Amino acid sequence: MGADVPSGGPGGPSDVPAYAEGTTESFAQIALREKVHDSLAVRPSWTYYQYALEAMDNQEWLLARHYLDESLRQLISEKYDSLYHNVADSLDQQYRLKMPLRIVDALDEVYPNIAEIGVDAEVFEQNEVSIEGVDALDESVADSASLQVIENFLDTVDVAQFTLPVVFNERVMQEIFYMSGGARSFTEGSLNRKTAYDSLVYSKLDEMNMPRDLIYLALVESGFKLKAYSRAKASGMWQFIPETGKRYGLTVDYWVDMRRNPEMATTAALKYLSRLYSEFNDWLLAMAAYNCGEGRVRRLVKEKMADSTWDTTQVVTYWDLELPKETMRYVPRILAAMVIGHYPEHYDMKINRQYRPDFDTVTVFDSFPLEEVAKVLKVPEDTLRSLNMELVKWCTPPNRDSYLLRLPVGTRSAFVDGYDKMEKNNFSSWHHHKVKRGESLGVISRQYGISVKELQQANDMKGTRIRAGQTLLIPIKVTPKKSSGKKPVKVKTYVAKLGDNVASVARLFGVSQESLRVWNSMKDDYVVKPGDTLFVSKPELKPVVPQAKPTPKLATGERYVVGEGDTYAGIAKKFGVPVVMLLEANGGFQRRLSVGDSIVVPEFTQSVQKASAKTKTAEKSAEKPAEKSGKSKSADKQEKSAAKSEKTAVEKVHVVKKGEGLWDISRQYGVTIEDIVRWNDLKDTKIRIGDKLIIRK
């Protein structure tokens, strides 16, 4: 946004822009044209002010307020610029005088609109503003002592447990310092929200055979806030911009934003990442491309390969590229989140499992105000909004033939019973109207033959305040034809002939293929057969309630995908197998279950057990030592010998001092960290000052 300073003054070409009532331009459009000196345009306070103006121009009033508050906070914290201290009217001084006025004028435009929306701004910031660590990078860095502490712990970590390739270099350690320090609140909150989506994301990652730790990309992008919205107009858990979202099947329009739908957005994000990986054959490069675009990464890789100093026998990696500043920190930040996510206790992160609410679904073919549905179901309207995050406005989308509506669990029958009583949106089309000087809601509503209330509802307005240059959505009502005394026209049907298909029938009657499929409940792969009777005009459609599928009978000898709340004991009970057998078949003595794990259910029947009880008893007596440990008899003897020698070893008690980690203590006594953990029955590698540790020598 920088520009040269004109001769008129050191602070910029003009004072704070005044909003002229007679213009068709908004305050934001005028203010966005204002320039400041290049040295001032790079300041965070100016950057956030520009973000706010862009949000105002898009009528994202709550987001604008958030950025204006941040602009003021940054202005207060910015240091005095001594570069111009000899100039009478220094740039810094003029900037500091004008910026508060700019921010206050902008807030004067924002607050009345927030009041009309009637939404709690604090709730908005908690749920909809994405991590500022991505939009505006924290410049604080760890000193050498802090890095040494981080490195000492990382020395004890087995990298084989991570599914993304990780190098513990300084860039990653700096991000660990940031995520566990400056952004600690965000990280802890995100890890808590993550638990509600573990099952969904892990199951999709497993299904597509992708690294499980890609889940931390969503953490850095949105903090697992489904309605997270960034200044770049990215939205949802995976922060798609509209164009990319549409490319992967996520509809974004006035009525719905499918980027907020966690199931659809996760599928789209993984498809996109999978395609990026297929091009770059490197998950870190794929993540970089997800952030800054595959075109840029592709170009930089080619430039690196063409560099005369580059060894062409070597593969170009993420760490070899000079990417944009944000992307240079973006990938290390994901790796840092991954490390913290695997060891939250070490970083003093308190994680409490969260759960997504259960819900019922019903397919509706009309547009309903959510307020009407809430009345019928006797639930708060906010409950419906939280279950249907993709709904942007106050109702189900009127521009679709059907919509899958989520309802609170147990309320489906109440919805169907109250269906006919509900008021429906009887609109056929929509028009955009740009407000002219002197116009009011009354004038505009009379112009289009609708009521002021309908106009307010269509634009989600509580009051009647509008301004020149504002765009309003105008609902155009269905105009019923005058009665001619004839019977109403029946729904049209058509009997399919040989050679007909969905496309040809749709063209024949001038309707869309999507409408034809909805009216006839066709799946995408349905093939029209000769003799099929098809609706070719809209029938009277009632809500479609999905039929409950019978619970499949669990059988042994199959694989089972671990869900939320599952335990080895619970799964064993479901399948009727001994817990010990299930543990042995899945390495359960060495590792814990995770949501999304695919485990083996061993073959086991009571009849077989009874028939060979004596044989099995004999086999178990002979094989028990080897089976339990998976070792040979000689190895088992060695282990017993080692255990015996441990009992006779000299024990020393070490009191943990400030700054010490297990890595330091293990080297002091010439033992391994694993030994110390085993000798002291430690649950993890975290120790505190004053802890007493047993050391055997």
Tell me, yes or no, if the two domains 493-535 and 649-696 fold the same way: yes
Q: Is the domain defined by 649-696 classed in CATH 3.10.350.10?
A: yes
CATH code: domain 559-635 is 3.10.350.10
Task: Single out the residue of 483, 478, 422 nearest to residue 450, CA to CA.
Answer: 478
Residue 407 and residue 536: Cα distance in Å, rounded?
A: 30
Exposure of 384 in the CB half-sphere (CA atoms within 13 A): 27
Residue 64: pLDDT above 70?
yes
- Cα 52 to chain centroid, rounded: 23
What would the pLDDT profile of 119-167 be if each residue is shown by its tens digit? 555 555 554 554 443 444 455 688 899 999 999 999 999 999 999 999 9
Which residues on adjacent β-strands are paired with residue 533? 495
What tokens does 613 get?
Answer: 């009880």
- The C-alpha atoms of residue 172 and residue 167 are separated, in whole angstroms, by 8
Distance CA 489, CA 553 (A): 49
357 within 8 A of 382, measured Cβ to Cβ: no
Taking alpha carbons only, the member of 319, 320, 408 closest to residue 357 is 408
- State the Cα–Cα distance between residues 172 and 150, nearest whole angstrom: 10
What phi and psi values does residue 302 have, to the nearest 5 degrees? Answer: -65, -40
Mean pLDDT, all residues of the chain: 79
> How confident is the model at residue 477, as a pLDDT?
60
* 694: amino acid identity, one letter: I
115 or 582: which leads in pLDDT: 582
Question: Which two structure tokens, joined as six digits, stand for 235?
Answer: 């939205």
What is the DSSP secondary-structure string of 508-568? HHT--HHHHHHHTT--TT----TT-EEE-S---PPPBPPPPPPPPPP-TTSEEE--TT--H
Long-range contacts of 618-624 (CB under 8 A, 24+ apart): none
Residue that the structure tokens 């006839």 belong to: 520
| 190 closest CA partner among 218, 164, 211 | 218
pLDDT at 220 over 70: yes
**Tell me, what's the pLDDT at 12?**
38
Instruction: Name the packing angle between helices 44-57 and 91-117 (round to 10°).
Output: 30
Q: What superfamily in CATH does domain 493-535 come from? A: LysM domain (3.10.350.10)
More confident residue, 647 or 594: 594
Beta carbons of 16 and 36 less than 8 angstroms apart: no
CA angle 61/466/235 to nearest 5° reads 25
What is the pLDDT at residue 420? Answer: 81
Percent of the chain whose predicted confidence (pLDDT) is above 90: 29
Identify the CA nearest to 276 among candidates 298, 255, 254: 298
Cα 246 from Cα 252, distance rounded (Å): 7
H-helix or E-strand containing 490? Answer: none
Cβ neighbours of 126 (radius 10 Å):
11
pLDDT at 619: 43
For the stretch 544-602, pLDDT in tens is 666 655 544 555 556 777 776 677 777 887 888 887 778 777 776 656 676 667 788 88
- Tens of pLDDT along 488-497? 456 688 888 8
Tokens representing residue 113 in the block: 């609109």
Q: State how far the alpha carbon of 289 is from the alpha carbons of 301, 320, 683, in Å.
A: 11, 14, 39
Where along the chain do its domains lie? 2-129, 144-230+281-342, 359-427+436-477, 493-535, 559-635, 649-696
Which residues on adjacent β-strands are paired with residue 560?
Answer: 599
CA-closest candidate to residue 183, choices 223, 156, 151: 223
Say if residue 646's pLDDT is above 70: no
Q: What is the pLDDT of residue 134?
A: 42
